[in-house]
Structure 1
Amino acid sequence: MDFLRWLFEAQIPVGGSALVLREVLGNIFGLLSALGGMRRKVWAWPIGIVGNILLLTVFLGNVFGAAAPATLWGQAARQIMFIAVAVYGWYRWQQGRQSGTQGRAIVPGWASNKVRFALIGAMVAGTAALTPVFDALGSYPPVWADAWTFMGSLLATYGMARGWTEFWLIWVAVDIVGVPLLFSAGYYASAVMYLFYGFFTLTGFFVWWRAEKRERAGRDAEPVVAAVSAGAVQ
């Protein structure tokens, strides 16, 4: 109990203000999870879940009785969503590793045009549908930005679990809206981390893009190698 009390009350002095320790730790775990995701490591998912739990208590600080700049229901809800989707991603990547993909948990690929249009439609429709819900709950304005980051995070995390390279670009769209929202709401540690994520996700996109090209080149070369080997045997 003493540890939990300390965890909920601990702050890091920065200049004339202070950062909530749980917010800093949650974002560090999130960064480690993103690094693992870039390298296609299964451990990215459980590490991310730890960060999600910490950040959930931050964005619902007023509900938990802890000091918080503002309640962001969308940010809080997306932590719960992260945990649920992370369990799915954890299972899917674990199955992929066991099936044998040269030590990688997932093989990067591209979503079809149909899926891309579906993702865009879900992003717009979901934001429109959730904005009045979060507004009624008292989320920090602009409420549409809170809804946008929630929907984008849901779709990006699902895309990561499926191995779609485009999921990195969805994160960029989330960060463009999420950084100003978090700064205005007073969550400075998360805002700075989101700003860093914006550059990091672009790097991740190109890393997965190159990996997808290598995997595709390897698959295209297999029939040629097989044909040459068969000819040599004859």
Structure 2
Amino acid sequence: MSAIHWLFDATFTIHDQTVLWREVIGNLFGLFSALGGMRRKVWAWPIGIAGNALLFTVFLGAVFETPNPVNLLGQASRQIMFIVVSIYGWYRWKHARDGGGDAVEPRWAGGRARILLVVALIGGTAVVTPVFTALGSYSPVWADAWIFVGSLLATYGMAKGWVEFWLIWVAVDVVGVPLLLGAGYWASAIMYVFYGAFTLTGFFVWAHTRRVAAVPVLPDPEPVPLAR
């Protein structure tokens, strides 16, 4: 059996749940990508893209005839979205680093951008939900739509260097865990729990980095001449 065939077909069992190894590997790639993102490393983007490609096949269970024949259209289509936005983020971070600076400089999005993010998350979910419903996504469909829209906004925020993007991931994880458990994607649900804790850590790390960068550097005092 070739490595590709093994990666596509290999499974293991947790109690009565059959889990695909590519679901586990894809989520681990996502975790490493998040770690690289927290450390502002350019390699976070290609690692994430590899995980997205694997998870795309996982969440179209009925299409790829996996042991869990459930289609989560939001989860599957967000992998495509991840790849597209990650190419943008990869270019943006690499271009910044090649210019002699850090891959990205964390900064606050600002009041207006925060309002727009919240409106986009809620409004986007309302718009996407009937689309996913018509396509036959797993219920509750609004949760699948929330995850899709939130993931798009979080990935865009990461590319822009907004500290708040970590909090959008937290909102995605809170909804994602019960949805994935209900759909039988146990490995992804467990990874979402780790993601939730990790994204909170990432938020505080980036916020601290921003606070340190905002502290003005005072010039050294002029030397005082000694009296003779």
User: Same fold by TM (over 0.5)?
Assistant: yes
**1:89-132 alpha-carbon deviations (Å, 9 max, x no partner):** 0000001111222xx31110000211111111111111000000
Mapped pair 1:164 → 2:162: yes
The whole-number CA distance in structure 2 between the counterparts of 1:59 and 1:84 is 18
SS where residue 219 of structure 2 aligns? helix
SS where residue 55 of structure 1 aligns? helix
SS where residue 71 of structure 1 aligns? coil
Query: Structure 1 vs Structure 2: percent identity of aligned residues?
Result: 61
Q: Which runs of 5+ in 1 are unaligned?
A: 230-234
What is the count of residue pairs matched by the alignment?
224
For residue 67 of structure 2, what is the aligned residue in structure 1?
Answer: 67
Name the TM-score, length of structure 1 as normaliser. 0.91
Matches within 5 A, 1:128-143: 128-143=126-141
For residue 225 of structure 1, what is the aligned residue in structure 2?
Answer: 219
Please say if residues 8 and 66 of structure 1, whose CA atoms lie closer than 8 Å, have aligned partners that are also in contact.
Answer: no
Question: For residue 94 of structure 2, what is the amino acid of its counterpart?
Answer: Q
Please say if residues 69 and 186 of structure 1, whose CA atoms lie closer than 8 Å, have aligned partners that are also in contact.
Answer: no
Matches within 5 A, 1:75-224: 75-101=75-101, 104-217=102-215, 220-221=216-217, 224=218
**1:44-80 alpha-carbon deviations (Å, 9 max, x no partner):** 0000000000000000122123332410000001000
Query: Shift in Å at residue 225 of structure 1?
Result: 2.3
**1:175-228 alpha-carbon deviations (Å, 9 max, x no partner):** 1101100000000000000011111110000000111111111xx22xx429x6
Query: Shift in Å at residue 16 of structure 1?
Result: 3.5
**1:146-196 alpha-carbon deviations (Å, 9 max, x no partner):** 000000000000000000000000000001101100000000000000011
The whole-number CA distance in structure 2 between the counterparts of 1:17 and 1:112 is 44
The whole-number CA distance in structure 1 between the counterparts of 2:91 and 2:5 is 33
Please say if residues 176 and 192 of structure 2, whose CA atoms lie closer than 8 Å, have aligned partners that are also in contact.
Answer: yes
The whole-number CA distance in structure 1 between the counterparts of 2:190 and 2:9 is 21
SS where residue 13 of structure 2 aligns? strand
- Structure with the higher fraction of residues in helix conformation: 1
Name the TM-score, length of structure 2 as normaliser. 0.93
